[in-house]
Chains A and B, each alone.
Chain A
Amino acid sequence: MKTPAEATDEQIIDRGIEDGAAKLTQDKVKRVVQKMLAAEGGARLKTYIETCAHCGLCSEACHFYISNDKDPAYSPAGKIKQTIGEIVKKRGNVSVDFIKTACEISFTECNLCRRCVMYCPFGIDAAYMMLFMRRICHKLGVVPQYIQDTAHSHSATLNQMWVKEDEWIDTLHWQEEEARDEIPGLRIPIEKEGADIFYSVIGPEPKFRAQLIYQAAVIMHAAGVDWTMPATPGWDNSDMCMYTGDVEMMARLKKVHFETAMRLKTKRIVMGECGHAFRSVHDVGNRYLGWKMAPLPVIHAIEFFYELLRDRKIRIKKKFQKPVTFHDPCNIVRGRGLHEKARYVIHQTCKAFIEMHPNREHNYCCSAGGGVINCGPPFRKKRVTGNRVKADQLEAVKAKGAEIVIAPCHNCHGGLEDIIKHYELGMELKFLGDIIYECMEKE
């Protein structure tokens, strides 16, 4: 079996994996795995494993497989074979070293992008299998250190970035003050009961990209939207616990998010431009809380911008001049079908739009999603070289004249930024909000 470390010509040492594994024995692994299989290994896991015809047709769906010179160890079914497949076959009787490798594969060689689900004749959900593996790793205490730290932040502060409550409020005040220099009457309404919209963002926005809150406030103001943000935890809609296999904590995060929106008696939640957060609120977290769908309407920023432009709530002063292309993020395209609405927004705001291929549901992942980028610097090189196909895709669209890549997702930004830099593509990245802010009539 080819190990992932060999594949990248270097030994990746991750303290979270090493230290966690040091505390394990084969016997303990077996006990924990068997308990997990008995408690949560249901019909989906069983049927998926027993039905897979080993046909290999999923391979070409995966950017890791294509980018690693079609090494079969990177194909979706190949990764299942090396991880959860083997665990089920051996009923947990696997070594500690096996767990270390399985951890690395499931956390850093699969973005849970679900592209392969569309390529499997049976629709076997490889992302579910990888998440099952990650959950076993979580139970065993073997999780890459960086993403585990993020999960710790979630459990201690209910946000992803160790942002304290006063820092959060302070950031909102700061951005409001900055924005009032540009637009004097602007407010960022905090704790406004009964507002139409509860606007939530991910932890990195107040931490690193506060200007996005500024821009959102300008758009809300110009559109005359009745909106609010909370002063309490629950403002962060992100969820790395969903990706570490800590489903209990994931459910707690979603509960706080929903309950904060309901405490403020808001009518619906509008989420910033983030993909994984949308997946957790729309698709995953609600299920663990026993809600078939979210308890109040939740929409992603794309849908919100689409509504604002369709209803002429915001007007475009002058269309964005440079030619743009669009990266379809998996969690809001394969995860919510927002691709056409995104294109509507682009056509309304940009002068020249060039499609990259493949696109829409078939777009290649950024390779940052699914918590992979959150596993941090030890795995960066592998993540970037493991997505050479994305660079080829971007290069092709650049050759057609595209200068700007629009990606309405934070993870995609992180991933694409690294790819653009590594492959020296010289393209610029933007959110849809950046474009709208730049081109709209602000008063």
Chain B
Amino acid sequence: MHAIYEIVSGPMVWLAAIIFILGSLYRLIFMGRLAAKKDPMVFSYLSVYYSLRSIFHWIIPFASVNMRKHPIMTVVAFAFHICLFAVPIFLCAHIILINEAWQVKWWYLPNPIADVMTLIVIGACIFFLGRRLLLREVRYLTTFSDFLILAGVAAPFVTGFWSYHQYPGHETAAILHIISGEIILVMIPFTRLSHMLFFPFLRGYAGSEFGAVRNAVDW
């Protein structure tokens, strides 16, 4: 068990981080070059002001008409995304590990709060699963990969919660936690999770077309 722990918490973290960073850079640069070659007009019409206007508008809860039409989805989606990023970055245990390795540390979330936020992520994943299974318009669009991605996102949080609370088998859970965290990092650039990378560019382009060319709002 210890040997496995050494591997997954050592070289595999490095590997996952490198794949995540290089993969993301590759995807962004490749897409940027493809746009320059095949859709050069995208750059001609890109406006910094209208890009930012659109991006900021869409990261404020309930700012858009469609967000107000789906209040539960809006609350869940925002809570999910905030917790998804905040928990791993500001978790005390993660910061201790980083501090031990590199002697750097930053502000961390009190453990009970991180615990609740973890439950929010897991609950949101269940909510999204429910949408995929129960809502006709979502079920129609859902593919098998959507379930895999959802499971992939939920896994580090479920196992993290398990190991933090020292439930039976928590040592295995800790290893699974690290592995699933690494898997999700590797998945980001190469699956639909790449929406994390492309969000600002897609919104920026839509905002520029709507704002600068069409003199209209895009929300």
A interface residues (Cβ-Cβ under 8 A, vs B):
40-44, 46-48, 50-57, 59-61, 65, 70, 72-73, 75, 77-78, 81, 117-119, 121-125, 282-283, 287, 292, 333-338, 361-362
Instruction: State whether the Cβ of B133 lies closer than 8 Å to any Cβ in chain A.
Output: no
Given the known inter-chain contacts A44-B42, A362-B65, please indicate yes or no for A122 contacting B136, CB distance below 8 A.
Answer: no
Using Cβ atoms and an 8 Å threshold, which residues of chain A touch B58? Answer: 121, 123
Say which residue of B31, B64, B69 sits within 8 Å of A46 (CB atoms): B31
A292 to B42, CA, bound (A): 11
CB neighbours (8 Å) of B201 from chain A are 47
Known A57-B66, A121-B58, A335-B216; judge A75-B137 contact (CB<8 A). Answer: yes
B103 at the A/B interface (Cβ < 8 Å)?
no
Stretch binding the partner chain, chosen from B6-14, B16-24, B88-96, B202-210: B202-210
CA distance A235 to B122 in the complex (A): 62
Contact B137 A59 (CB under 8 A): yes
Within 8 A of A (CB), among B26-83: 31-32, 34-35, 37-39, 41-42, 44-45, 54, 58, 64-66, 69-70, 73
Q: Chain B residue with minimal CB distance to A49?
A: B192
Which chain B residue lies CB-closest to A125?
B206
Within 8 A of A (CB), among B85-137: 131, 135-137
Contact assessment for A42 and B37 in the assembled complex, using a CB-CB cutoff below 8 Å: yes
Chain B contributes a number of interface residues (CB within 8 A of A) equal to 50
* New A-B contacts (12) at CB < 8 Å, excluding given A54-B143, A73-B140, A292-B44: A43-B32, A50-B192, A50-B198, A51-B195, A55-B141, A72-B137, A75-B140, A122-B206, A123-B203, A336-B215, A337-B216, A338-B215
Determine whether the beta carbon of B138 is less than 8 Å from that of A361: no
B residues near A (Cβ < 8 Å) are 31-32, 34-35, 37-39, 41-42, 44-45, 54, 58, 64-66, 69-70, 73, 131, 135-143, 146, 192, 194-195, 198-199, 201-203, 205-207, 209-210, 213-219
Contacts of B215 in A (CB 8 A): 336-338
Instruction: Kindly list chain B residues whose C-beta atoms are within 8 Å of the C-beta of A336.
Output: 214-216
Residues in B neighbouring A123, C-beta threshold 8 A: 54, 58, 202-203, 205-207, 210, 218
Neighbouring A residues of B42 by C-beta, 8 Å:
43-44
Q: Tell which of B31, B32, B66 touches A119, judged by Cβ atoms closer than 8 Å.
A: B66
Indicate which residue in B34, B146, B206 contacts A117 across the interface (CB closer than 8 Å): B206
Chain B contact surface mostly: helix
22 A/B residue pairs, CB under 8 Å, sorted by A: A42-B38, A44-B35, A44-B205, A50-B194, A52-B192, A53-B195, A54-B138, A54-B142, A54-B143, A54-B192, A55-B131, A56-B135, A60-B69, A65-B137, A72-B140, A118-B64, A119-B66, A123-B207, A124-B202, A292-B44, A292-B45, A335-B214
Q: Which residues of B contact A51 (CB under 8 A)?
A: 192, 194-195, 198-199, 202
Other-chain contact of A78, B38, B140, B205 (Cβ < 8 Å): B140
Q: Which residues does chain A contribute within 8 Å of B143, judged by CB atoms? A: 54
Closest 5 CB pairs of A and B: A123-B206, A42-B38, A337-B215, A72-B140, A43-B35
Number of A-B residue pairs having CB atoms within 8 Å of each other in the complex: 132
Alpha-carbon distance A44/B45, docked complex (angstroms): 14
A43 and B39 within 8 A (CB): yes
Closest to B70 in A: A57
Chain A, residue nearest B209 (CB): A125
Cα(A361)–Cα(B215), bound, Å:
11
Q: How far is the CA of A268 from the CA of B217 in the complex (A)?
A: 26
Determine how close the nearest CB of chain B comes to the CB of A143; give it in whole angstroms.
Answer: 24
**B-side contacts of A73, CB under 8 Å:** 140
Minimum CB–CB distance from B123 to chain A (whole Å) comes to 17
User: Which among A50, A55, A75, A292 has the greatest number of chain B C-beta atoms within 10 A?
Assistant: A55
Flag if B203 contacts A77 (CB, 8 Å).
no
Whether the Cβ atoms of B202 and A122 lie closer than 8 Å is yes
**Partner pick for B203 among A57, A122, A333, CB 8 A cutoff:** A122
Note all chain A residues with C-beta closer than 8 A to B194. Answer: 50-51
Complex partner residue of B202 from A47, A282, A333, CB under 8 angstroms: A47
Contact B138 A56 (CB under 8 A): yes
> With A46-B34, A51-B194 known to touch, is A56 a contact of B214 (CB < 8 Å)?
no
A54 touches which of B38, B73, B141 (Cβ 8 Å) = B141
Compute how far the CA of A333 lies from the CA of B137 in the bound complex, rounded to whole angstroms.
28
Query: Taking each of A59, A118, A292, which has the highest tally of chain B beta carbons within 10 Å of its own beta carbon?
Result: A118
Are B192 and A53 in touch, CB under 8 angstroms?
yes
User: How long is the Cα–Cα vector from A77 to B146 in the complex, in angstroms?
Assistant: 15
Cβ–Cβ < 8 Å partners of A122 in chain B: 195, 198-199, 202-203, 206
Most chain A Cβ neighbours within 10 Å, of B39, B141, B143, B146: B141
Interface pair A118/B202, CB less than 8 Å apart:
no
In angstroms, how far is the closest chain B Cβ from the Cβ of A377? 30
From residue B212, how far is it (CB to closest CB) to chain A in Å? 10
List the B side residues contacting A287 at CB < 8 Å.
41
A77 to B141 CA separation, bound complex (whole angstroms) = 7
Q: Which one of A47, A56, A121, A125 lies within 8 Å of B141 (CB-CB)?
A: A56
A353 to chain B, nearest CB (A): 21
What is the CB-to-nearest-CB distance from A12 to chain B, in angstroms, rounded to a whole number?
A: 22
